[in-house]
Amino acid sequence: MENLVEIALQNVNMAAILPSVILTCFGMGLLLINVFLPRGTTRPAVWISIIGLVVTGFFVFSGWGDPQYGFNDAVAMDNYAAFFSIIFLFAAGLTILISDNYLHREGYPVNEYYPLILFATAGAMWMASGTDMMTIFLGLEVMSISLYVLAGFFRGQVRSNEAGLKYFLLGAFSTGFLLYGMALIYGVTGSTKLTEIGVYLSAHSSLLDNPMTLAGLVLLSIGFLFKLGAAPFHMWVPDVYQGAPTPITAFMSAGPKAAAFAAFLRIMEYCFFTLKPEWTAMLWVLAVMTMIIGNVIAIKQTNIKRMLAYSSIAHAGYAMVGMVAANEIGYSGILFYMLAYTFMNIGAFAVLTLAGKKGEDNLTLEGFSGFGFKRPYLGVAMTIFLFSLMGLPPTAGFTGKFYIFAGAIDAGYIWLAIIGVLNSAVSLYYYLRVMVYMYFRDPVEDYSWVSLPAAAVISIVIAIIGVFYLGIIPGDVMELAKLAVF
Amino acid sequence: MYDKLWLIPFFPLLGCIINGLLGKRFIKNEKIIGAIGTGAVFLSFLVSCKYFFQLLGDSVKTHENIVASWITVGNLQIDWGFLFDPLSAIMLLVVTGVGSLIHLYSIGYMHGEEGFYRYFSYLNLFIFSMLMLVLGNNLLVMFVGWEGVGLCSYLLIGYYFEKKSAGDAAKKAFVMNRVGDFGFLLGLFVIFWTLGGKHGVWTLNFVEISENAHLLSGDMILGLGVTTVATLCFFLGATGKSAQLPLYTWLPDAMEGPTPVSALIHAATMVTAGVYMIGRMNVLFAMSPTTMAVIAMVGALTAIFAASIGFAQNDIKRVLAYSTVSQLGFMFVAMGVGAFTAGIFHLMTHAFFKACLFLGSGSVIHAMHHAMHKAHLDDDPQDMRNMGGLRKKMPITWATFGISCLAISGLPFFSGFFSKDEILWWAFASSRGSLLVWAIVVVAACMTAFYMFRCLIMTFHGEQKTNSKAKDYIHESPWTITVPLIVLAFLATVGGLVGIPHVIGKLIGDIPNKFEHFLAPVFEHSQQLYKIEAHGTASTEVSLMVLSVLIACVGIGVAYFMYKKNPELPAKFTSKFPKFHRFIYNKWYVDELYDSLFINSTKNLGTFCWKGFDVKVVDGIVNGVAKAVGGLSSVLRHTQTGLFQNYALTMVLGTVVMVAIFILN
Amino acid sequence: MEIIFFYLVAFVVVVSGLLVILCKSPINCALGLVNTFFCLAIFYVMLHAPFMAAIQIMVYAGAIMVLILFVIMLLNLGTAERKRYTQGIVWSAVASLMVLANVIFFLKRGRVTGAEGDITTFMVESVGHTELIGRTMFTEFILPFEIASILLLVAIVGAVVLAKKEV
Amino acid sequence: MTDHLLSLMTFFPLVGMLIILFLPREADKLIKTVTLIVTIIVFFISLPLAFDDVFLTSSAMHYTEFVNWISVGQYFQMNYYVGIDGISLWLVMLTTFIMPIAILSTWNAIEKNTKGFMALALLLETGMLGAFISLDLFLFYVFWELMLVPMYFMIGIWGGKNRVYAAVKFFIFTAVGSLLMLVALIYVYYFAVKAGVPFENGFSIIQFYQMDIPGNLQTWLFAAFAFSFAIKVPMFPVHTWLPDAHTEAPTAGSVILAAILLKMGTYGYVRFAIPLFPEAAMQFTPFLALLAVIGIIYGALVAMMQDDVKRLVAYSSVSHLGFVMLGIFAFNLQGISGGILQMISHGVSTGALFLIVGFLYERRHTRLIADFGGLSKVMPVFATVFMIVTLSSVGLPGTNGFVGEFLILIGAFEGGLRVFAVVATFGVILAAVYMLWMFQRVMMGKVTNPKNENLKDLSARELAIMLPLILFIFWIGVYPNTFLDKMNPSVENLIKQVKGKQQIAMMVEDVDQTVTFITVND
Amino acid sequence: MISVYHYMGVAGILFAMGTYGVLTRRNAIVIFMCVELMLNSVNLTFISLSAHLQNMDGQIFVFFIMAVAAAEAAVGLALMITFYRNRASIDVDDMNMLKW
For B199-254, give the secondary structure using H, E and C. Answer: HCCCCCEHHHHHHHHHHHHHCEECCEEHHHHHHHHHHHHHHHHCCCCCCCCHHHHH
Q: Note the pLDDT tens digit of each residue in B429-442.
A: 877 778 888 888 88
Query: Is beta strand B76-84 parallel, antiparallel or unpaired with respect to D76-84?
Result: unpaired
Report yes or no: B605 at the D interface, CB cutoff 8 Å.
yes
Q: Are the Cβ atoms of C17 and E53 closer than 8 angstroms? A: no
Mean pLDDT of all residues in D379-398: 88
Q: Compute, in degrees rounded to 10, the torsion defined by CA atoms D411, D412, D414, D416.
A: 150
At A285, the pLDDT band (50, 70, 90 cuts) reads very high
Which chain B residue shows the shortest CA-CA distance from C95?
Answer: B653
pLDDT at A310: 93
To the nearest whole Å, the CA of E1 is away from the closest chain A CA by 19
Beta bridge partners of B69: B79
**Residue % of chain B over a pLDDT of 70:** 100
Residues 52-71 of E with CB under 8 A from C: 52-57, 59-60, 62-64, 66-71
Cβ–Cβ of E9/C104 closer than 8 Å?
A: yes
The secondary structure of residue B385, as a DSSP letter, is: G
Say if residue A295's pLDDT is above 60. yes
pLDDT, tens only, B213-272? 888 777 777 778 888 888 888 888 888 888 888 888 888 888 888 888 888 888 788 888
Q: Quick one: pLDDT band at residue D520, thresholds 50, 70, 90?
A: very low
What integer pLDDT is reported at residue D518 of this predicted model?
46
Q: Tell me the per-residue pLDDT of D232-254, one tens digit each, with 9 for 90 and over.
A: 888 888 888 888 898 888 888 89
Interface touch E92/B643, C-beta < 8 Å: yes
Query: Would you call D72 helix, strand, or coil by DSSP?
Result: strand
Per-residue pLDDT of B492-535, as tens digits, reads 888 777 877 777 777 777 777 788 888 888 888 877 777 777 77
| B156: closest CA of chain A, how far (Å) | 48
pLDDT tens-digit readout, B131-141: 888 888 888 88
Residue type present at position B435: L
pLDDT at residue A216 above 80? yes
Does B641 contact E at CB distance below 8 Å?
yes
pLDDT at D508: 66
Nearest residue, CB atoms, A432 vs list D72, D171, D176: D171
Q: How far apart are CA B474 and CA B462, in angstroms?
A: 16
Q: What is the mean pLDDT of residues D141-147?
A: 90
User: pLDDT of B181-230, one tens digit each?
Assistant: 888 888 888 888 888 878 888 888 888 888 888 887 777 777 788 888 88
Question: For D277-332, where are the alpha helices, taking DSSP H only?
Answer: 278-304, 309-328
Cβ–Cβ below 8 Å for A235 and B650? yes
Average pLDDT value for chain B: 83
Q: What would you report as the CA-atom Rg of chain D, rounded to the nearest whole angstrom?
A: 23
In sequence order, which residues have a C-beta less than 8 Å from that of residue E27 and are 6 or more positions away?
A: C26, C77, C81, E90, E91, E92
pTM: 0.90
Count of CB contacts below 8 A, A vs D?
94
For range B638-655, the mean pLDDT? 88
Cβ-Cβ contacts under 8 Å, B247 against chain D:
none
Phi, psi angle pair for D518, to nearest 5° = -75, -45
B656/C98 CB distance under 8 A:
yes
B632 to chain E, closest Cα gap in Å:
13
Contact B71 D410 (CB under 8 A): no
Nearest 5°: CA angle at B485, between B481 and B490? 155
In this prediction, what percent of chain A has a pLDDT beyond 90?
A: 57
Put simply, the answer to whether E95 touches B645 (Cβ < 8 Å) is: no
Q: Where are the alpha helices (DSSP H) in C56-139?
A: 65-74, 89-109, 121-127, 129-139
Quote the pLDDT of residue B28. 74
Q: Nearest residue of B to residue E21 by CA position? A: B645
Which chain A residues are Cβ-neighbours of C158 within 8 angstroms?
116, 145-146, 148-149
Q: Do C102 and B659 touch (CB under 8 A)?
A: yes
Does the CB of B593 have a partner CB in chain A at under 8 Å?
Answer: no
As a whole number, the mean pLDDT across chain D is 87
CA distance D263 to D257: 9
Asked if the C-beta of B651 comes within 8 angstroms of chain E's C-beta atoms, the answer is no
pLDDT the model gives residue A23: 93
Selection from B246-250, C120-124, D409-413 with the highest mean pLDDT:
D409-413
Q: Do D397 and B605 touch (CB under 8 A)?
A: no
Provide the pLDDT for residue C77.
65
C133 contacts E8? CB cut-off 8 A = no
Q: Is C134 on the interface with B (CB under 8 A)?
A: no
The answer to whether residue C102 neighbours chain B at the CB level (below 8 Å) is yes
pLDDT tens digit sequence for C64-119? 888 888 888 888 765 555 554 555 788 888 889 998 998 888 888 888 887 887 77
C91 and B649 within 8 Å at the Cβ level: the answer is: yes
Mean pLDDT of A111-118: 91
* Residues of chain C contacting A72 with CB distance shorter than 8 Å: 139-142
As a whole number of angstroms, the distance between CA A346 and CA A340 comes to 10
Q: Calculate ∠ Cα D266-D271-D276, nearest 5°.
A: 120
Q: Say yes or no: D167 contacts chain A, CB-CB below 8 A.
A: yes
Contact yes or no for E19 and B644 at CB 8 A:
no
Q: Which residue of C has its CA nearest to A141?
A: C151
Query: E16 in contact with B at a CB cutoff of 8 Å?
Result: no
Contact residues, A window 114-153, toward E, CB-based 8 Å cutoff: 133-134, 137-138, 141, 145, 148-149, 152
pLDDT-derived band at A331 (thresholds 50, 70, 90) equals very high
Which chain B residues touch A238 with a CB distance below 8 Å? 640
Nearest CA in chain E to A303: E100
Task: Look at A360-364, B555-559, D172-176 and tell me which has the smallest mean pLDDT.
Answer: A360-364
Q: Which residue has the higher pLDDT, B508 or B317?
A: B317
Q: What is the DSSP string of A311-365?
A: HHHHHHHHHHHHHHHTSHHHHHHHHHHHHHHHHHHHHHHHHHHHH--TT-TT-BT
C-beta atoms of E35 and A161 within 8 A: no
Query: Which of D153, D163, D172 is nearest residue A429 as measured by Cβ atoms?
Result: D172
Q: Across the 100 residues of chain E, what is the mean pLDDT of every consecutive 10-residue run?
A: 87 92 88 92 92 88 92 92 86 81
Q: Best interface-test mutation with E: which of B644, B646, B659 has the largest number of E CBs within 10 A?
A: B644
Q: Is D489 on the interface with B (CB under 8 A)?
A: no
D163 interfacial to chain B (CB closer than 8 Å): no
Q: Are the beta carbons of E79 and A183 separated by less than 8 Å?
A: no
Sort out which chain E residues have CB atoms less than 8 A from C104's CB and list them. 9, 12
Q: Which residues pair with B65 in a beta bridge?
A: B82
Q: Which residues of chain A does B643 touch, with a Cβ-Cβ cutoff of 8 Å?
A: none
Residues on chain E bordering chain A, Cβ-to-Cβ distance under 8 angstroms: 4, 8, 15, 18-19, 22, 28, 31-32, 35, 38-39, 41-42, 45-46, 49, 52-53, 55, 57-58, 60-61, 64-65, 68, 71-72, 75-76, 78-80, 82-83, 85-87, 92, 95, 97-99
What b-and-e string marks burial along B326-347, b requiring 16 or more CB atoms within 10 Å of the CB? bbbbbbbbbbbbbbbbbbbbbb
CB neighbourhood size of B483 (10 A): 15
- The pLDDT tens digits for A410-468 are 898 999 999 999 999 999 989 999 988 888 888 776 656 667 888 899 999 999 999 99
What are the chain B neighbours of D402 within 8 Å (beta carbons)? 147
Residue A320 has what pLDDT?
Answer: 93
Q: How confident is the model at residue B303 (pLDDT cuts 50, 70, 90)?
A: confident
C touches E, CB cut-off 8 Å, minimum 3 pairs: yes
Phi and psi dihedrals of A132, rounded to 5?
-125, 140
B653/A contact by beta carbon, under 8 A: yes
| pLDDT > 70 fraction of chain C, expressed in percent and rounded | 92
Is A55 touching E (CB cutoff 8 A)? no
DSSP β-ladder status, A75-77 and B63-73: unpaired
